[in-house]
Structure formats: structure tokens, C-alpha cells
Chains A and B, each alone.
Chain A
Amino acid sequence: MILEHQPSPAMHERFRGDHPIVVEGLVNRFGDFTVHEDLSLTVDRGEILGVVGGSGSGKSVLMRSIIGLQKPAAGEIEVFGRSIADADLDEEIGLRSRWGVLFQGGALFSTLTVGENIEVPLKQFYPEIGGRLRREIARYKVMLSGLPDDAVNKYPAELSGGMRKRAGLARALALDPELLFLDEPTAGLDPIGAAKFDRLTRELKQTLGLTVFLITHDLDTLYEICDRVAVLADRRVIAVGTIPELLETDHPWIDEYFNGPRGRAARASMERDRK
């Protein structure tokens, strides 16, 4: 058996290439409070990984650790095969240009228009690109995110909640990232808007070949678009897999989550859609 041998460096590289995010033994503490204890998670290339867990189970903290906003107490985090903790400044900037993040509230810069918001990362990373092309890029990103073209000149305060999320997504996509982090993208949206956002996420994943790390509470989102789901409970990832696989584990939290009234309703609606 070849797999039993120590993998060659080339194989190691290929293994990493198939897993844009690898987290091993992550520990996060706030004072005496331990959020994560020995947490491990691997994300496959090209998948939409849903991350679920109760409120306060550290979903956002996990995302913040991966994108380097939260320094972990211990553990290894590798994104595209590089550890962001060990990366020097140039390497870190290189890594950061390969992912996009949509924060919960959109986190658009309120003093800039939507178009200018999208131009910020472009200017930051690729100052050599001319202003005209940059504005064109901003505008087609806005339209790719499903906003009307005149949204480019609007300020975030002039947009509705759903439009602000889409504008945030457009900014996250500004650099044509390979990896997209979405923090509760459908929270606070009406069901129609949420369903549209789900469809948009799936379409963008297919056309742009994205890997998506998606934190959500929305059971419909999980059923509709997630390839796999990771469950965060007891300070670690207790299970990762497709929803049928998760249902086979008999962890009480997973059971309650997917077999509760809302879970059953979401499953029923998905099964109706399949027929």
C-alpha cells in the first residue's frame, strides 16, 4: 500500500492543494473561557462547507482564526498550505489576496459608495491597474452579485439589508478570490431574498470555481447549497459530512438540530423540490 508510506513532498503539496483550509488542534481562549479545544477541520477544494453550531459555540471565532484576525492560543492553521501565523508580511498579503470575506453586517465602509468600497481592495493590492478598468471591474462585480447597476454610486446607508449583503459580497469577490468566507449571509433576509442569495452563492461557486466556508443558522441554506456540513459543539468540530451522514451519528445536539420541527420542515421542502 502506497498510502502507508511517508508521503513525498510532492504528494504532500498535492494533498494541500486539494484542501485550501486545514485546521489542526486549534485552541482559542478568552481569559478563562475556552472557546475551542483541540479543534480540527479540513475543507475540500471546490466545496461549499456549511458550519453550524449553537449561539456562542465559536463559529465566528473559528472564521476569524482562519483569516488571521484572532491569534489562537495553540494549534496549526494552514490556508493554501501556508500557515498565516508563520507567514512574513509579503506572504501574508499574498494569502489575503486569495480570499474574500463577507462579514455579518456587510461591514461596508460607510463613507464610501458601493463602487468605491469594491475599488478599495483593488487599489490596495493592484495599484498598477488603471482607474477606468478598476471602475469597470467594480461595476461588473456589483452586477455579478445581483445588484442593479446604479447601486454602484449609492452609499451603504441608502441600501436595504439584503442589498448591503450583496454589496458586501461584491467587495469580497473584488480580487477574484479562490476562497470565500460567508458569515451568516442569509441572517436577517426575508425568505425570498435568502433563497435568492443561496442560489447566487451556488452559481458563483460554479462559475468562479470558489471554495466556500459558510457559517449559517439557516437550515434551508444547509439543505439547498452545502456540499458538506461541519458541526461545532463541545468546543470542537464533532462531525463533518453530508447531512444524511450527519443524521446517522447519534449525537443528541445533531439529532435535535436536524430532527427538530424546523429541521424536518427544511428537509421536507427540499424533498418536495427534488420531486
Chain B
Amino acid sequence: MSEFAQFSVEEEAGGGAVLALSGPWLLSTIRDVDQRLASIEGPIARIDLTAISEIDTVGAWLACRLTRQHGAQIVGASARAMRLLSAVENCESEHEFEPPTEPFWLRIPREMGILVGKGWQGAIGVVGFLGQILIALGTLIRHPSRFRGKALVRQFELVGVEALPIIGLMSFLIGIVIAQQGSVQLEQFGAEALTINLVGRITLRELGVLMTAIMVAGRSGSAFAAQIGTMKLTEEVDAMRTIGISPVEALVIPRILACVLMMLLLGFYASVVAIVGGAVVGDLLLGIPFWTFLERIKDVVPVHDLWVGLIKAPVFGLIVALAGCYHGMQVKGDSEQVGLRTTMAVVSAIFAVIVLDAFFAVFFTEVGWG
């Protein structure tokens, strides 16, 4: 478009200045007129709209604002301009655009306080949620017919069976990396044979279960939070309550049981696959035959290493499922919350798993399973 909104100030003999607006005064043609109008020196007695070719609400708003600023009168307005002017003239308000911002020395302590309060609330919330789950489990034991077998099997499939390929691939590669990197270091002591001990013990005791827990948190914990959160938003959870179904029994218990049981199996599976990965490296790079590698595992790895892994796995599964379901149930309001809570579920689950793993490491060493 070639034409833009224009204005000019003319002194008039009769007293005061006349501000004459011309050209199209539309949203698409006003450009920077707003800034240029601000530099007008008052006082303006009249605003002449005669030369305006087109006008919309933005043009009318600007004209209206000028009349207020200068106490000027509008002359020469067309019928359409009059209509628009009377429409926008009632839209003046005294409110500020944005709420006044606090100075930072007040804001920072306040935000901190809110954060601490939220953390405390969250801790109480999680404990309360755990209590709800225990009560629901108790009810289910007394009324086994209310147990949702189908939902549980479905979750077995989603959490366990469908995770097999990705967790298998991940563990296999981890086994390869540990064996290869470990052997390079052990070679300096002439102790490549100890690669078998390294791979067997570290995967069964630590990495198999830990990496699986992280993968399950990313795959299933996030899905739990998003699914339950979306159901909260669409009022499905409320509908369940109205019908008399406890959402904890129907949604949370199957997911938690599935996650606990599947973590146990997936953790063991991951350790086994990682050892196979190590054995492949042993065969190709270290000259230890594949089957000999596996035979030696049973001699060099104490059985309690297996127990350490198998005790940790279901606990990690519980934490991941708990975080996912808890954050899902906390969703309210809008769709942004679903994303936020999903992120929080995954982050808090992985964090808790790693912290707890450290405690487990110290504990098992102290009780003599070092």
C-alpha cells in the first residue's frame, strides 16, 4: 500500500490550532503515526477528520485519545467515523496495563517462600498419595473382585513388553562400552581377564537396574503423568468418582503394580543383555571365547550382587510409577500443566532413583554384600 496516515497542524486566526488528519487511518496504514503524534505541541482546539479517506477502530481510538489529551473537539467526521468514535470512546479505563512489578529485594524472598511452601506441600502430598495407594491396596485385598486384571495386563504390555527392544539395545551397547573401555585400562596391569569381573559385577549390581529405571522413567513415568493428567483435564477422573470408581484403584494401582513387577524383570533382562554385550567384546577384542566369558561370570560374580540388583529394581519401579501417577493427579487448569507435570514427574523420578541408589550402595556394602 502506498498511502499512509498523515496529519498536519494549522494555526487558525479564531484561536487555537487545528490538527487536520488525512489519508487512510487504518491499522494497516498508521505505522509510526502514534510516535509522531506524541511530539505535537499543544494546545489543539479542533481535530479535523474531513480529509480522512478510510477509518477503522484504531484510527478512531487515536483520534479519541487526542481529544482527551488536548481537550479538543472533533469536526468533519463522517457517519462511519462518528459510529466508531462513539464505540471506542466508552473504552477508556483507569486501570494500569500491567500490574506494577515489585522491586527485586521483595520479589526474591517472596518467590523463595513460595518455593519452600510448595516443596513442603509436595512432600505432604506425596506421603498422602502413598497413603491413598496403601488404603486402595487394602480394599482390593478385601474385595479381590474389584481388581482390574485387564488394566494390569495392558500396563504389563506397555511398560514391560514394549520396552524390551529399546532397553535391550541400550544395555547391549552399555555392556560393549564397559568391556571395551575397562579392558583398555586393565591391560596396563596385564589384567584383561578381570574385564569379566568388571562387566558382570557392575551390570548386575548397578548399571543394569539404574539405566533401566531411567529408561522406564522416560518411557512410562512420563506417559503415566500425561495420560492421567489429560484424563483430569477432560473430567474423566471426576466422571469415575461420580460412578463410584476410585481413580486410585482404577488408574494408579494397575500402573504401580505393573511398573514394580516389570522393573524387576526388565532390570534383570538389562543386566543379562549387557553381559552378553561384554562377552561379544571379549570374543572379538580380548580373545576370550564367548562361552568362556559367560562360564566365568558365574565364578567371579557373587550371588549377592544379583540380589542387590533384584532388591533395588522394584523399589525404583515404585518410585518411577509413584512420581508419574502423583504428578498426573496433580494436573488442574489448562493443558500447559500436563506438560509441566510430565517434566516434573520424569525429573523427580530420575533424581530420586539416583539418590536412593547411592544410599543402597552404602547400605549393601555395610551389611557385608560388598
Contact = CB atoms under 8 A, between A and B. Distances in A.
Interface of A: 97, 110-111, 115, 122, 125-126, 128-130, 132-133, 135-137, 139-141, 143-144, 149-150, 152-153, 155-157, 175-176, 206-209
Contacts of B98: 153
Interface in B328-359: 333-336
B57 A176 contact: yes
Most buried by B among A152, A155, A176: A176
A113 to B, nearest CB: 9
A140 B57 contact: yes
A128 B88 CA distance: 22
A139 B96 CA distance: 10
A139 B28 CA distance: 18
Contacts of B58: 137, 176
Interface stretch (B31-39, B45-53, B153-161, B298-306): B31-39
Contact of B91 (A110, A130, A144, A150): A144
Please classify how large the interface on chain B is, using the bins under 10, 10 to 19, 20 to 34, 35 or more: 20 to 34
A126 B28 CA distance: 7
6 contacts: A141-B57, A153-B98, A176-B58, A207-B84, A207-B87, A209-B80
Which residue among B83, B87, B99, B336 has the maximum number of chain A CB atoms within 10 Å of its CB? B87
A207 B61 CA distance: 14
B97 A130 contact: no
Interface in B151-177: none
A206 B86 CA distance: 12
A217 B26 CA distance: 35
Contact of A208 (B32, B84, B91): B84
B17 interface: no
Interface of B: 26-28, 30-32, 34-35, 56-58, 61-62, 65, 80, 83-84, 87-88, 90-91, 93, 95, 97-99, 333-336
A130 B32 contact: yes
A251 B19 CA distance: 60
B264 to A, nearest CB: 40
A144 B334 contact: no
Contacts of A130: 32, 34-35
Contacts of B32: 128, 130
B91 A126 contact: no
A176 B26 contact: yes
Contacts of B334: 110, 155-157
Contact of B97 (A126, A152, A207): A152
Q: Which of B34, B97, B334, B335 has the most CB of A within 10 A?
A: B97
Nearest to A174: B27
A143 B324 CA distance: 42
Residue from B83, B90, B93, B99 whose CB has the most chain A CB atoms within 10 Å: B93
Contacts of A125: 28
A136 B63 CA distance: 13
Given A129-B34, A144-B57, A110 B335 contact: yes
Q: Considering the complex of A and B, which 10 residue pairs feature the smallest CB-CB distances, nearest first?
A: A149-B93, A140-B91, A143-B91, A110-B334, A176-B56, A133-B34, A157-B334, A207-B87, A157-B333, A135-B97
